[in-house]
Amino acid sequence: MSKFFSNKKLIILLITIVAMIGFISISISIRDRRETPPVIQQIGNDAAGIASQIVSAPVNSIRTGLTSMVNLVNTYQDNERLKQQLDQLDQVKETNTTLRRENKALKRQLKLSATLTDYKEMNAAVISRSPASWQNQVVINKGQLNGVVKNMPVMSGSGLLGRVVEVNKTNSKVELISTDNKNTNRFAVEVKIGADKYLSGIVSRYNSAQHRLIISQLDTTEGVKAGDMVSTSGLGGLTPRGLFVGKVTSVRKDDYGLTNSVYVKPAANIDDFTVVTLIDRTVAGD
């Protein structure tokens, strides 16, 4: 015992702890400041990304096989349900095209090239997930070479899932909307409470016990009721307007009873996803 904690070892331990804290602080400040990590880190990440895809290939193929088997079982039920929706779909599609054409014409008249609602989509596959439970980060297989930029919003299925926090050459990291990280950027959202009425707020937390996003900092919660649609507001300059977030489930008082928070059931399946969609906002933020 006495030999292990000799003076020399204690000094080494002390230096290691100091170096550790130093490295982490420098690393955090670099990550917050730069659009992409240093080149050496990028090369390491790209190599690890490629190796990860090789290692996970057999596992993924088994997973795909299982999923398709489960899908086969569910197909009949799905088919019944979808048939009912199909009749309405044609009508909705037709209306959509007409409205889009009209919108384009009106924008041209106003000499607007792009507005807050305009965006381009890009699909990516998830290749790995950070094992650290305090991080809620996944790695996707698109990077700088594919046009990914830091802070791009990411969707999964029909709802908002998170945003890009680090971009390498061939892969990038996405932080999920469910993160507890207090230093991360927040999403500006709006709750639709009437035909033309919206309330702006910010997604501030995720309640993992109930699987609910919590919106706070609303001016008022008057008129908000369960079932109201929540989508991004396009304010803040990073996210386009109109990305679907979820539906309101309840309005509750905060711990001190001073303000109200709105609880939202996210539309994206935050617990289970393998494919994501990156959103590229056309109007650049200032």
Partner 1 sequence: MTIAAKRLRWFIPIIWTVLFLLDGTISLLFQKWLYHDFLNISSQVLLMGVVSTSFHFDTERWLIWPAFVIGIFYDCFYLGIVGYYTFLLPMVVMIVRWIADYLPDSMLFQAVTYILMLIILEFALFILNSFFGDGIGFFTFVSTDLGPTLAANVIVFLLIYYPYKQLMKAISN
Contact positions toward partner 1, by CB under 8 A? 4, 16, 19-25, 27-28, 31, 37, 41, 44-45, 48-49, 51-52, 55-56, 59, 63, 126-139, 165-166, 173, 180-183, 208-209, 271-272, 274
Q: Which is nearer to partner 1, 124 or 193 (CB)?
A: 124
Q: Which is nearer to partner 1, 63 or 101 (CB)?
A: 63
Q: Tell me how far, at minimum, the Cβ of 89 lies from partner 1, in Å.
A: 30
Rounded-to-integer distance, Cα 224 and Cα 253, Å:
13
Cβ count within 10 A of residue 54: 8
Q: Tell me how far, at minimum, the Cβ of 59 lies from partner 1, in Å.
A: 5
Q: What's the longest Cα–Cα distance across the chain?
A: 83
Q: Which is nearer to partner 1, 139 or 191 (CB)?
A: 139
- The answer to whether 104 touches 114, Cβ cutoff 8 Å, is no
Q: Tell me how far, at minimum, the Cβ of 188 lies from partner 1, in Å.
A: 22
The 3-class SS string of 52-79 reads: HHHHHHHHHHHHHHHHHHHHHHHHHHHH
Q: Is the dihedral of CA 101, 106, 108, 111 positive or negative?
A: negative
183-189: long-range contacts, CB 8 A cutoff, minimum separation 24? 183/32, 185/151, 185/238, 187/153, 187/160, 187/163, 187/232, 187/239, 187/245, 188/232, 188/233, 188/234, 188/235, 188/236, 188/239, 189/215, 189/230, 189/231, 189/232, 189/233, 189/245
Q: Tell me how far, at minimum, the Cβ of 176 lies from partner 1, in Å.
A: 9
Q: Which is nearer to partner 1, 128 or 231 (CB)?
A: 128
Q: Which is nearer to partner 1, 52 or 204 (CB)?
A: 52
Q: Tell me how far, at minimum, the Cβ of 73 lies from partner 1, in Å.
A: 18
What is the DSSP secondary structure assignment for residue 223, as one 8-state letter? T
Angle, vertex CA 154, rays to CA 178 and CA 193, nearest 5: 70
Q: Which is nearer to partner 1, 86 or 132 (CB)?
A: 132
Q: Tell me how far, at minimum, the Cβ of 151 lies from partner 1, in Å.
A: 14
Q: Tell me how far, at minimum, the Cβ of 211 lies from partner 1, in Å.
A: 8
Q: Which is nearer to partner 1, 85 or 183 (CB)?
A: 183
